[in-house]
């Protein structure tokens, strides 16, 4: 049956039979997209589809344990989907959220983050609904200068300045524009962000392997670049962490439970036992320009890595100074938290002063930052540092090389 005819039948049938027909329409559309070499077809064919009357939109991406599923609400479907073009637009929209990792990056997003996520992906969608959020509408109606084809995080920063005004908030609420899908189900439940990142990355890698170069040639350049960024060989940052941890000297204590190696024939002499506890200190940039979503993902990955290591992890927020009173010890990958405690300027010197004053030279140091700080610092000879920059950041501002530098989207 023609998909448009099937959608007409859905609108005319009783609610008892709608779920089956809607599932059929979704499947036929995805299969057709697959046959035409469309990205959304290759991607969404791998997702389970679940009926859910509790979502506040026609479709939503939802985490069920560590699996991403495509949910749909039959009541909303009948109201919003009037043609195959409507259906295609919604499915393409969901696929673009996945490509840009929004179900990981936005854990229970607020209004600004949701609008930013939608306008970033709607630039690539054909047959957009008339009430969808777009850059053009926001720019025209509210006189906001929004660049095209940028990451959603950049739109978040631009929209924050505008929507902070109460009048603008009210205007947007009354504008008639709507989000195309319910983003609150991006919220990650009971599974670390790292596990979900690997799930989506493997889904995208599988999609790319099946599409082939001919079909990818039809995609916008920005979409191809994002696919390559995720699909290309990742930096294995475990080697950096293991290297940093290996530089931490073990403390030693005397014990009669160990032979004295120099005089092993003398049983009364104690030997030396090495402590196996190693410490990692993590400094998190609070300057405001680095994304909370990337930080949550990366810190979750760190905790997952260190579950297998005898390490002590302490996280310190910093901006122009170290906020020692807000530091906390990581005890479980399920209990990772990150809350911005300040939004001042960035001082890397404050980190090295803190390490020097607190005598923390025998620790491995990881610094999450956007790279925008001073050019010259005194590191007091301390080089056991891993700098982790957000992918959209420029190079680290410091002139001399101190430790190693990687970017969050290159983490494996």
Rounded Cα gap, residues 182 and 162, in angstroms: 23
H helical segments located in 13-73: 15-35, 39-44
Provide the whole-model pTM.
0.65
Q: Which two tokens stand for residue 125?
A: 């969608």
Q: Which two tokens stand for residue 19?
A: 């779920």
User: What is the DSSP track for 283-329?
Assistant: EEE-SSSS-HHHHHHHHHHHHHHHTTS-EEEEEEEESSSB-GGG-EE
Rounded Cα gap, residues 34 and 254, in angstroms: 68
H helical segments located in 123-151: 135-142
pLDDT digits (tens, 9 = 90+) for 140-171: 877 888 999 998 988 988 888 777 665 555 56
Higher pLDDT among residues 349 and 319, named by residue: 349
Q: Within its chain, how far is the Cα of 239 from the centroid?
A: 22
Work out whether strand 67-72 and strand 49-51 pair parallel, antiparallel, or are unpaired.
Answer: parallel
pLDDT digits (tens, 9 = 90+) for 343-396: 667 899 999 999 999 999 888 999 988 888 898 999 999 999 998 886 555 578
Residue 363: count of CB within 10 angstroms of its CB: 21
Q: In the predicted model, is pLDDT for residue 20 greater than 50?
A: yes
Rounded Cα gap, residues 19 and 30, in angstroms: 17
Residue 302's pLDDT band (cuts 50, 70, 90) = low
Determine contact, residues 300/194, Cβ cutoff 8 Å. Answer: yes
Q: What pLDDT score does 276 carry?
A: 46
pLDDT digits (tens, 9 = 90+) for 104-134: 888 888 889 999 999 999 999 999 999 999 9
Q: In the predicted model, is pLDDT for residue 277 greater than 60?
A: no
Q: Which two tokens stand for residue 103?
A: 């179900």
Q: Which two tokens stand for residue 340?
A: 């911005």
Rounded Cα gap, residues 49 and 186, in angstroms: 16
**Which residues touch 310 (CB under 8 Å, ≥6 apart)?**
276, 277, 278
Residue 63's pLDDT band (cuts 50, 70, 90) = very high
Q: Checking phi first, is residue 92 left (phi over 0); if not, alpha (psi -120 to 50) or beta?
A: alpha
pLDDT digits (tens, 9 = 90+) for 197-251: 778 989 999 999 999 888 998 999 889 888 887 876 555 666 777 777 776 665 5
pLDDT digits (tens, 9 = 90+) for 84-104: 999 999 999 999 999 999 998
Residue 77's pLDDT band (cuts 50, 70, 90) = very high
In degrees and rounded to multiples of 5, residue 43 shows phi and psi of -80, -50
Residue 174 DSSP SS3? coil
Rounded Cα gap, residues 125 and 290, in angstroms: 28
Q: In the predicted model, is pLDDT for residue 279 greater than 60?
A: yes
Least confident of 41-55, 354-368, 398-412: 398-412
Mean pLDDT across the chain? 82
**Residue 64 bridge partners (DSSP):** 67
H/E element, 111 = helix 111-122
* pLDDT over 90, % of the chain: 42
Edge-to-edge strands, sheet with 404-407: 328-330, 311-318, 278-285, 364-369, 385-389, 404-407
Higher pLDDT among residues 272 and 157, named by residue: 157
Q: What pLDDT score does 275 carry?
A: 53
Query: What's the angle, vertex CA 92, arms to CA 86 and CA 93, rounded to 5?
Result: 90
**Which residues touch 357 (CB under 8 Å, ≥6 apart)?**
none
Determine contact, residues 288/185, Cβ cutoff 8 Å. Answer: no
**Residue 279 bridge partners (DSSP):** 312
């Amino acid at each position: 049956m023609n998909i448009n005819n099937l959608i007409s039948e859905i609108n005319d049938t009783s609610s008892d039979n709608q779920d089956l027909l809607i599932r059929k329409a979704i499947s036929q559309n995805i299969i057709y997209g697959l046959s035409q070499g469309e990205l959304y077809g290759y991607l969404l064919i791998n997702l389970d589809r679940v009926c859910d009357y509790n979502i506040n939109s026609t479709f939503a991406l939802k985490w069920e344990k560590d699996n991403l599923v495509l949910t749909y609400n039959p009541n909303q479907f009948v109201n919003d989907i009037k043609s195959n073009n409507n259906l295609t637009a919604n499915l393409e929209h969901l696929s673009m959220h996945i490509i840009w990792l929004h179900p990981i990056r936005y854990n229970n997003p607020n209004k600004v983050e949701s609008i930013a996520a939608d306008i970033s992906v709607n630039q690539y969608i054909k047959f957009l609904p008339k009430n969808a959020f777009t850059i053009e509408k926001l720019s025209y109606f509210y006189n906001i200068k929004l660049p095209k084809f940028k990451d959603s995080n950049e739109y978040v920063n631009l929209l924050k300045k505008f929507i902070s005004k109460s009048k603008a908030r009210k205007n947007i609420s009354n504008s008639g524009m709507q989000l195309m899908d319910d983003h609150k189900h991006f919220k990650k439940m009971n599974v670390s962000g790292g596990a979900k990142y690997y799930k989506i990355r493997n889904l995208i890698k599988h999609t790319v392997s099946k599409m082939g170069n001919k079909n990818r040639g039809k995609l916008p350049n920005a979409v191809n670049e994002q696919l390559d960024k995720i699909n290309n060989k990742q930096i294995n940052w475990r080697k950096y962490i293991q290297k940093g941890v290996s530089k931490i000297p073990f403390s030693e204590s005397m014990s009669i439970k160990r032979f004295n190696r120099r005089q092993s024939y003398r049983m009364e002499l104690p030997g030396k036992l090495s402590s196996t506890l190693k410490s990692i200190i993590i400094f998190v940039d609070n300057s405001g320009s680095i994304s909370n979503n990337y930080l949550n993902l990366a810190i979750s990955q760190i905790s997952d890595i260190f579950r297998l290591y005898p390490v002590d992890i302490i996280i310190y927020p910093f901006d122009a100074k170290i906020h020692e009173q807000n530091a906390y010890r990581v005890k479980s990958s399920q209990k990772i938290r990150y809350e911005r405690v300040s939004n001042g300027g960035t001082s890397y010197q404050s980190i090295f002063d803190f390490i020097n004053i607190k005598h923390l030279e025998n620790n491995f140091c990881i610094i999450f930052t956007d790279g925008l700080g001073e050019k010259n610092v005194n590191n007091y000879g301390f080089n056991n540092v891993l700098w982790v920059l957000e992918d959209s950041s420029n190079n680290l501002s410091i002139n001399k090389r101190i430790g190693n530098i990687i970017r969050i989207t290159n983490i494996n």
